[in-house]
A and B are shown apart, each in its own frame.
Chain A
Amino acid sequence: MNPMLLFTWAFQTLIAFVSTVAFSIIFHTPRREWLCTGITGAVGWLVYLISMGLGSGTVGASFFAAVALTWVSRSFSFARRAPVTVFLICGIFPLVPGAGIYYTGYHFFMSDNSQALATGLETIKIAIAIALGIGLVLSLPRFLFTWRREGK
């Protein structure tokens, strides 16, 4: 592990934190939850970076990141007695396939059909990976997430 890479990851995670907080402001999240939404987004992005670093590819990394992020969201939701939606939706924004939508539109209108199809399929795959990740963790039994409160 070289220190430069670690530094980049740490800095990117910090930026993901800031961007998630920015988006939670746009969605009128109460100020007391900003820290937690930020952490949710940062965890998602960190896991994404790590799995990309381990060579899982965009789709796999999106899946693992969605799993981690949903896990954190549910834990926060029980710890802070707030709806999961608040953390989940704010935290998901670094993962949503904005890049995929851009490249699909770009290639489609530049008449590069095969590229447009490839990026379009990739975008849908990422969306499905995120969906599976979220759905998987949301279906897990709740005792896995309530340890914080019982620990008190």
Chain B
Amino acid sequence: MENVSALELSFQMGETLLKNGAEISRVQETMERVAGAYEIDSFDVYVLTNAIFATGVEQGIEHAARMKHVPGTTIHFGRIEAVNQLSREIAQGQHTVEEAFAILKEVRALPYTKLLLSVLACAVGSACFSYLFGGGWRDALIAFFCGVALELYLYWTSRRGLSKFLTNLSASALVTFLGAVFFLLGVGENMDKIIIGSIIRLVPGVALTTSIRDFFNGDYLSGAIRMLDALLVGGCIAVGVGVVVRLLSLVTGGALL
């Protein structure tokens, strides 16, 4: 039986949390809680933004250091919440290891939001942000269409496995181009508000927030990794926007962009 080790369970729960965008201290606490509930001796765990190291003694056998590279995160709060619930139930002694594994398997298979819904959400979000940052209703309408294009594009790039930086660079260039074209056609009122509303989807809010949390929990290394991530992604977006604006202003002979 491979899948009945409590250490493995703890490890996989930690991995699920980390993959779906939880902060370091939550991963560490959850893993320790699970290990404590199943009485794994001398359990030690060290978590980084992209790796987990754990050791423990189970049934008299020491399990060697386990480490695993956890690749780039896709945020899925549903899964984080479900693992959180599971770890609470485990701490109360409600599940055997096998049961917990079965639940964890379901949690890891929790579906992503349907493409149609997430496209709609991105479009509505972009339109709302465009309005919030001072755009008029026509700007919001254009931001809506930019949002549709953006989410479809992000879906396409994620299936193609495009690198994160290239994705952000090209996606921000895409929405800037769309926004500027609509603006030049005379549909929108403020080009900046349209584009700002549309790029909020790309802005590294998750990386920034998680990095802050890691810093304040004393996980400086992970906090620094995520902060760098936020800075680089932010830089990519700025470059994507800037290059397109510059090119368009050259092509149109310095039109008022």
A contact residues around B240 at 8 Å (CB): 105
Query: How many residues of A are counted as interface, with CB atoms below 8 angstroms from the partner's CB atoms?
Result: 48
A45 adjacent to chain B (CB < 8 Å):
yes
Q: Are A96 and B132 in contact (CB under 8 A)?
A: no
- Chain B residue nearest to A119 in the complex (CB): B238
Known: A85-B26, A86-B81. A96 touches B242 (CB 8 A): no
- Chain B residue nearest to A108 in the complex (CB): B242
Partner of B215, one of A25, A33, A89, A135: A135
Within 8 A of B (CB), among A86-137: 86, 88-90, 92-94, 96-99, 101-106, 108-110, 123, 127, 130-131, 134-135
Partner of A96, one of B118, B208, B213, B246: B208
Known: A104-B238, A110-B246. A98 touches B129 (CB 8 A): yes
Q: Are B213 and A134 in contact (CB under 8 A)?
A: yes
State how many angstroms separate the Cβ of B113 from the closest Cβ of chain A: 5
CA distance A110 to B199 in the complex (A): 19
Q: Are A15 and B128 in contact (CB under 8 A)?
A: yes
Known: A83-B80, A89-B209, A135-B212. A96 touches B124 (CB 8 A): no
Known: A18-B128, A23-B125, A82-B84. A98 touches B242 (CB 8 A): no
B contact residues around A30 at 8 Å (CB): 77-78, 81
B contact residues around A23 at 8 Å (CB): 121, 125, 201
Q: Are A106 and B113 in contact (CB under 8 A)?
A: no
B206 adjacent to chain A (CB < 8 Å):
yes
One digit per residue, 1 when the CB lies within 8 angstroms of any chain B CB and 0 when it does not, for chain A 54-97 equals 00000000000000000000000000011101101110111011
Q: Are A85 and B21 in contact (CB under 8 A)?
A: yes
B contact residues around A105 at 8 Å (CB): 237-242, 245
Q: Are A98 and B80 in contact (CB under 8 A)?
A: no
Within 8 A of A (CB), among B172-212: 192, 195-197, 199-201, 203-206, 208-210, 212
Q: Which 8 A-B residue pairs are closest in the complex by CB-CB distance?
A: A109-B242, A105-B238, A19-B128, A22-B125, A105-B242, A25-B121, A105-B241, A109-B246
Extra A-B contacts (16), CB below 8 Å, given A23-B201, A33-B77? A12-B132, A15-B128, A22-B121, A23-B125, A27-B21, A89-B21, A89-B75, A89-B209, A90-B77, A102-B195, A102-B241, A123-B234, A130-B208, A134-B212, A135-B212, A135-B216
Residue pairs across A and B with Cβ atoms less than 8 A apart, 7 shown, are A15-B128, A16-B128, A92-B208, A94-B132, A108-B238, A109-B242, A127-B230
